[in-house]
Structure 1
């Protein structure tokens, strides 16, 4: 015999242990996010653009909560982390680019298609760089408060700005606006792969006396989002674009302060950052 027979399952094979349902639930949400993103592409090519954009935004929402849910349920795993990373390229790169292309960029011909491809590629590069930086233990602790470049979820919402503006009647889609949207798409792709420091807000703390006003503000934002979704998204994206230079300026000032610190304070901050990283690494990202 050229090949040896496989051992029979059950008796000679390895025993498959049972997996708790809480370990599977975050991965099911990730799969649901992929289905929503791909469904958004289908609706776009069927001409149902509002539903398509809603599905892409829903996919981004699901993709944002699966990791947090896994950490809350203590159901993180390496498989979930890899699956989540692969889902991001679909939900934050491919789906928004194709929805925008079907809605407007196809009117620009090849330049529109090139812009869509560049955005999808830039999203993949951005996610790969995020995974590498996430494993960099020598990075100063204060730099973990900033993203390197615009994060992929924000880029996915940002690149659809021409669609939001068309929904509220700011312009009528034509060949000229298609070329303008293609340039904006290339700009969004550049922001993803740039070295622009963007404040993440991960370590932001709220004072006790500001909790209630913050809850009220979030409730107002949600009400506006449900009542006037495209107006709210358009205003939010424009505000986010204005925030980027302020974030870069704050990063530069923080870098000057850190450089001016004595060596002893830098060592103490680095040690504190390692302690925090060790505590967080007990529950890896899903």
Structure 2
């Protein structure tokens, strides 16, 4: 029975992604964010369960990627589509008529994120370099970045932040940039603990501590900051060779 436990957790990730999709299509992006977060939670624990129970298998690896494709690939693409499709209705600065090029084609650019996630997950399954670290931004981190944008727009009190993330040109750039950075040859450190020794995991705990402080002070606006900080810190560590990636 225990060999099925990790796969069952992975299927909960997939179920969470499917529910998030329903909310995303219904334009309830806050609930979509919640269910994606829950799916990412299951995504973390399925691998942990497989390692603890010593039941890791090729089936689990493939199942994990298929679930991630929905939760961290399809959902952020739909969310970006929704934001681009509705931005002309909610922001008079970018108001256009329904028969324009914008309404016909531009919102579909959001699915570039889904295509990038698909490529990223396929590469991950065959890349032996990514056993203990990552090459390119993981799809769950990218999904959190994308799905945090509508929450920021609903909660921010900063005119600059609101105008920045409600600009369709910025959203298009973010879509292409996220697809690129998921597949870039960019070594990033893993958040998986190496062992029970605190000194061997001090980087992870330091990073998580800083993330907690950012979330405490900036709430949803902290999520893009955390993702950018994660990338920059990985680049610095890689350049200075203070950590083996």
Paired residue for 1:160?
A: 147
- Is the aligned partner of 1:186 residue 2:176? yes
Distance in 2, Cα, partners of 1:61 & 1:179: 32
Gapped regions of structure 2 (runs ≥ 5) = 87-101
C-alpha displacement of 1:121: 1.0
8 Å CA contact retained: 1:39, 1:55: yes
Paired residue for 1:277?
A: none
Distance in 2, Cα, partners of 1:243 & 1:112: 28
8 Å CA contact retained: 2:30, 2:151: no
**What do you get for the CA RMSD once the two structures are aligned?**
3.5
8 Å CA contact retained: 1:161, 1:234: yes
Q: Secondary structure at the match of 2:241?
A: helix
Of 73, 76, 84, the residue aligned with 2:56 is: 76
Of 96, 106, 115, the residue aligned with 1:111 is: 106
State the TM-score, normalizing by the size of structure 1: 0.65
Residues 118 and 31 of structure 1: is their aligned pair in 2 closer, same or farther, counting only changes over 3 Å? same
Asked which structure has the greater RCO (Cα within 8 Å, sep 6+), the reply is 1
Gapped regions of structure 1 (runs ≥ 5) = 1-19, 137-142, 259-286
State the TM-score, normalizing by the size of structure 2: 0.75
Residues 176 and 72 of structure 1: is their aligned pair in 2 closer, same or farther, counting only changes over 3 Å? closer
C-alpha displacement of 1:75: 2.8
8 Å CA contact retained: 2:153, 2:166: no
What number of residue pairs does the alignment pair up?
Answer: 220
8 Å CA contact retained: 1:29, 1:63: yes
Structural mapping, 1:15-94, within 5 Å? 20=1, 22-94=2-74
* Deviation string, structure 1 residues 127-180 (Cα, Å, up to 9, x no partner): 12222222x6xxxxxx96642111121111122232231121346689962332
Q: Which structure has the larger Rg?
A: 1
* Deviation string, structure 1 residues 215-252 (Cα, Å, up to 9, x no partner): 9x76x939x96x88xx4342142133134234223213
Q: Secondary structure at the match of 2:167?
A: helix
Distance in 2, Cα, partners of 1:175 & 1:251: 30
Structural mapping, 1:195-206, within 5 Å? 195-202=185-192, 203=194, 206=198
